Amino acid sequence: MTSILKADTIQDTDGNNIINESGNTITIGASGDTVTLGSGATNNLGITMADQFRLSANTTAPSGDLTSNLERVDTSGQGTLGTGMTESSGIFSFPSTGIYLVEYAFCLSNVSAGTEDRAQVILKATINNSDYTTITNPDTAVDGSANGATSVGYSSSLIDVTDTSNVKVKFTAQSFKSGTTLSGSTSENSTHFTFIRLGDT
C-alpha cells in the first residue's frame, strides 16, 4: 500500500521550520542552521568537491606529460572541499562520477634576454584509462626582450566523469625553448590546476 504525506511546512518540536514550500520554492532550514547529510548520502544541491594542485618547483624547458613536482595546495588559508582528486605520476583520477570543471593556469618565464617563446600546456582526457585526447590547447608567449620576462596562459573544460576507473586527465607541456621555464612554487600558486565537481553526470 502506498501512502502520501502532504504538507507545505514541516517543523521541529520547538516550532521551527525544517522544510517549507511556498510558490514552488522549497526551503530547507533557516538562517543560522547547519544542513548536513548522512554518511553515504549524495548531495545534489550544490558543489561537494573542490580541489587544487600546483607545480611545486620551476621546470626548465619541459617536454611531454607533467609527471613530477605536483602537490595539493597546502599553504595557510588554502583548503579542499570533500574527497579530493588522486594524482599519480601526473595522472589525475576523480573521486566520484559527475560533471567537473577543470581549469588551470601556467606561468612562463625566461632566464635571459633573447629567449622569446610561445609554449603550450595541454589538457588531455581519457575515457578508457588508456587513450588520451587533447581537450584544450592554449598557448602563451613570453617576451624575449628582457631578463625575467613572464607570461600566463589559462584554459578550462568541463569533463564528464561517467566512470572513475576510466575517465582521467593529465597535463602535457610542449614547444618550450631551452631558455623558457614553467614556473612552480611550493608556497604559492604559480602554475596550478583546479578541479570542481558541479553536479551529477
Is 22 domain-assigned? no
- Residue 113 reports pLDDT greater than 70: no
Output the pLDDT for position 132: 98
Is 114 domain-assigned? yes
Output the pLDDT for position 28: 82
As a whole number of angstroms, the distance between CA 161 and CA 146 comes to 44
Output the pLDDT for position 93: 98
Total domains, the chain: 1
Distances (CA, A) of 61 to 101, 111, 136, 176, 177: 28, 11, 20, 5, 6
Is 31 domain-assigned? no
- What are 73-92's pLDDT values in tens digits? 999 999 999 999 999 999 99
Q: When comparing pLDDT for 140 and 112, which is higher?
A: 140
Q: When comparing pLDDT for 15 and 194, which is higher?
A: 194
DSSP conformation class of 168: E
| Residue 187: domain span | 50-199
Neighbours of 126 (CB within 10 A): 15
Output the pLDDT for position 10: 86
- Residue 192 reports pLDDT greater than 90: yes
Least confident of 21-35, 47-61, 123-137: 21-35
Output the pLDDT for position 45: 65
Report the share of the chain in percent with pLDDT over 70: 88
Q: Would you call 106 exposed, middle or buried from its count of C-beta atoms within 10 A (0-12, 13-18, 19+)? A: buried
Output the pLDDT for position 13: 86
Output the pLDDT for position 67: 97
Is 64 domain-assigned? yes
Is 190 domain-assigned? yes
DSSP conformation class of 13: T
C-alpha torsion angle, residues 64, 68, 69, 75 (rounded to 10): 110
- What are 116-148's pLDDT values in tens digits? 678 899 999 999 999 999 999 998 888 766 666
Is 37 domain-assigned? no
Is 184 domain-assigned? yes
Mean pLDDT for the chain overall: 89
pTM of the model: 0.79
Mean pLDDT of 51-56: 98
Where do the DSSP E strands lie in the chain? 9-11, 17-22, 25-28, 49-55, 59-60, 64-65, 70-72, 86-88, 91-93, 98-110, 117-126, 132-136, 139-142, 150-161, 168-174, 180-182, 192-199
As a whole number of angstroms, the distance between CA 35 and CA 31 comes to 11
Identify the CATH number of the domain in which residue 98 sits. Answer: 2.60.120.40
Is 34 domain-assigned? no
Report the share of the chain in percent with pLDDT over 90: 59
**Nearby residues of 29 by Cβ (< 8 Å), 6 or more positions away:** 18, 35
Output the pLDDT for position 146: 65
